[in-house]
Structure 1
C-alpha cells in the first residue's frame, strides 16, 4: 500500500466517479475545479497523442488530455456524454477527457485497497487505490503522476 494511502486513513472522502472506456474510475472531488461539456477543441500540432487539444476557458488556455490514452486504453471517441474534468496542477489548469460522469460517492479511506497485483506498473502508478461503493469497484486515480508524465 502506498504511503499516501496509509497517511490518509481514518478519513472520509468524496469521490467523483466517471467512466473511461468501460472502467469506473474516480478522482477526489476536492481536486476538481469544474466539469464542462466537450465543445470545440483546437488541435495542437506535434503534441503527444494524448493531447486532444486546447480550449479557452474564460480567458485561460486549458490543455485537454485523453485520460483513457494516458491510462493505456484506446483513443477516445467523444460522444454526447463526454465531459472534461478541469483540475489545477502547479498553477496551470488541465482538462481530463472522460467518457461519462458517474455519481459522487462518500468512501472511508480505511476501506481503500492497493491496486491489484495484476495491474501493470505502468498503470498502477496512476492509482491511489481501489474501493467499493454503490456495489461497484472503483479505481481511484492520482492526478499528479498523470499530469506530470503529460508535462514531459
Structure 2
C-alpha cells in the first residue's frame, strides 16, 4: 500500500471508528443508562450523571477533533472527483451542517455551562435528537459513498 493510500485508509478508518464509538455510546446512554438511572434516588442519580459525564466528555471532545481532522482530509481527497456534482455538494453540505448541530448537542450534554443546563435537564430528549441527526448523517454518508461521481457509474450491487 502506497503512502497516500495508507493515509486515506487511516483517515477513513478513524472517521468510521469514531462514528461507531460516539453514536454507539449515545444509543447506550439514551436507551439503557438514562432509563436505568431514573430508578435511582436523586442523590445517587446526580452522582452517577456527573461521573458518567466526566468520563464521556473525553470521548466526545476527542471524537469531535478526530471527526474534524479526518472529515476535512476525506473531503479534500474526494473533492476533485466530484467537481460539478451538485447533488454531492448539497448532500455533503447538509451532512456538515448536521454534524455541527450534533457536535453542539454532544458538547452541551457533557458540558458545565449554566446557560446550557436546560439541555442537560432534558438529556433523554436531546440524546434522541442527537441520535436521529447522527443516523441521518450516516445515511447521507452511505448514499454519497456508493452512488459514485457524476462521471462514474454507481458502485456495483452485490448479488448472489
Give the structure-2-normalised TM-score. Answer: 0.29
Which structure features the higher share of strand residues?
Answer: 1
